Chain A
Amino acid sequence: MAWVWFHRFGSPPHFYRLARRLTPWFGWPALILCLYGVIAGLGFAPPDYQQGDGFRIIYIHAPAAWLSLMVYVVMATSAAVGLIWRMNVAHAVAASCAPIGASFTALALATGMLWGRPMWGTYWEWDPRLTSELLLLFLYLGYMGLRNAIEDLSRADRASAVLAIVGVVNVPIIHYSVIWWNSLHQAPTVMKFGRPSMPAAMLLPLLAMLLGFSLYFVALLLTRARGEVLRRERSARWISEALAQE
């Protein structure tokens, strides 16, 4: 039964139509959740006993960092699916992930720096998270660079799929190796957040932002993937029908 769904989803015309219908179901809830998250996070969450109002950066930084990792996993998984089952839709999804993931990695880095300045006294620390996040950005850029350099779309799909898979193996390695390296160098105290019990007024907006950003990513992905699916399609029949409906 699951196979039937798998193959339906993998069929370009089905995917295209499904994606078009589903996008608002992700987009609008994302907007509502993020609005709540921002308003509650900025205006109603109590200030942190250590960081005062500066902690409110977390409502941007944490979702951005979460997205940067989650998108990479989605990208690598759909690339693997595309490679193994030769599914154009999966390759389209992988291609769509990269620019989104890269921009949110950059956002995570930038907000991390802006958070670090008041808390650590410096814009940059070779902190494990910042460093592995930076390398993640390079992985995204390499992926996009490779795609860009190969002219044939099908070849670009498959070569970048291999790269994405190799990269996903490396992501935990980078993360742990950098932690090890950093602890050996006795890094300055990593910023600790008043964690023991995060009051609900602080936590709820954060959860809302995390969920909201995730839904927003799906909406973006569906939009981009529709275009990518179109680019990979040869048979015109379903395309002219689908486009006529828009």
Chain B
Amino acid sequence: MMAPRSTFAAAAAVLVARDLRLAQRRAGDSLLPLGFFLVVTTLFPLALDPELSLLRDIAPAALWVGALLSSLLALDLLFRDDGQDGALEQLALCGQPFAGLLLAKTTVHWLLTGLPLVLVAPLAASALGAPYGAMPGILAAVLLGTVALSLIGAVGAGLTLSLRGNGSLLALLVLPLSVPVLIFGARATALAIQGEPLAAPLYLLAAMAVLAATLAPWALAAAVRIGLE
């Protein structure tokens, strides 16, 4: 293992730029989870009587289930290419803190798959009957929630690295761990729609995002190292 010739910040910046450039070439891949989210949230009013007051009641649930499933779908993108062509191994061996590099990778992944959800969520929410005044709260909740979901999901993706088979094992691993985010996110959204103060669940969502950002890199590094053998 050679000694690092640059600082961690420089290495992370290079990694982020590379990932963004690669994603740009395959823009469709990143848009897929977004499309999925829109389709799923549309399914709810189609399946129910599209009476706006009822929709408003289920809007939090529909939004968050859609966000959860969409982020699950997006996980496929995180390690797929780099795991296959050996780039992940290079990252592990290059002498920079592996956990930090993986955190950088997950951040890019969130920018590409989570951030679009945040931007689109108000649109989906208003389609489900949420009033205008709810939007800031919904934005904040989805922002914090998708960050937490990306990190938790990344750990699951790292654990199932190079495992063949469909994504149902990944779903089984990630969904129970994501439940607290779902609960508080839906709670915050419901309060926002009702026009009530939602500081409490938002703080908890923030706490979860911070906790995930602190613990997930360690778990990710351990999991990916094991998976690369």
Touch A–B, Cβ below 8 Å: yes
Q: Which residues of A contact B (CB under 8 A)?
A: 83, 135, 138-139, 141-142, 145-146, 149-150, 152, 155, 158-159, 162-163, 165-167, 169-170, 173-174, 177-178, 180-181, 184
8 smallest beta-carbon distances between A and B, as pairs: A177-B180, A138-B176, A142-B173, A142-B172, A158-B226, A181-B183, A135-B176, A162-B223
Alpha-carbon distance between A134 and B184 when the two chains are bound, in angstroms: 18
Which of A167, A181, A184 is in CB contact (< 8 Å) with B177? A167
Q: Per-position contact with A for B166-193: 1 when CB-CB < 8 Å, else 0?
A: 0001001101110110011001000000
Whether A146 contacts B184 in the complex (CB less than 8 A), given A158-B226, A159-B223, comes out as no
**Most interface-central of B160, B176, B184 (chain A CB within 10 A):** B176
- Asked if residues A149 and B155 are in contact (CB atoms below 8 Å), the reply is no
Chain A interface, >50% SS class: helix
Alpha-carbon distance between A178 and B176 when the two chains are bound, in angstroms: 12
Interface size on B, residues (CB 8 A): 25
- Asked if residues A184 and B187 are in contact (CB atoms below 8 Å), the reply is yes
B222 close to A (CB within 8 Å): yes
Whether A139 contacts B176 in the complex (CB less than 8 A), given A149-B169, A159-B159, A162-B222, comes out as yes
- Asked if residues A146 and B222 are in contact (CB atoms below 8 Å), the reply is no
B136 close to A (CB within 8 Å): no
B14 close to A (CB within 8 Å): no
- Asked if residues B227 and A159 are in contact (CB atoms below 8 Å), the reply is yes
Alpha-carbon distance between A100 and B192 when the two chains are bound, in angstroms: 43
B85 close to A (CB within 8 Å): no
- Asked if residues B160 and A155 are in contact (CB atoms below 8 Å), the reply is no
What distance in Å separates the Cβ of B161 from its nearest Cβ neighbour in chain A? 9
- On chain A, the residues within 8 Å of B155 by CB distance are 162, 166
Alpha-carbon distance between A155 and B223 when the two chains are bound, in angstroms: 10
- On chain B, the residues within 8 Å of A139 by CB distance are 176-177
Q: A146-B169, A155-B227, A170-B176 are in contact. List 16 more A-B contacts (CB 8 A).
A: A138-B172, A138-B176, A139-B176, A142-B176, A145-B172, A155-B226, A158-B226, A162-B226, A166-B177, A174-B180, A177-B183, A177-B204, A178-B183, A180-B184, A181-B183, A184-B187
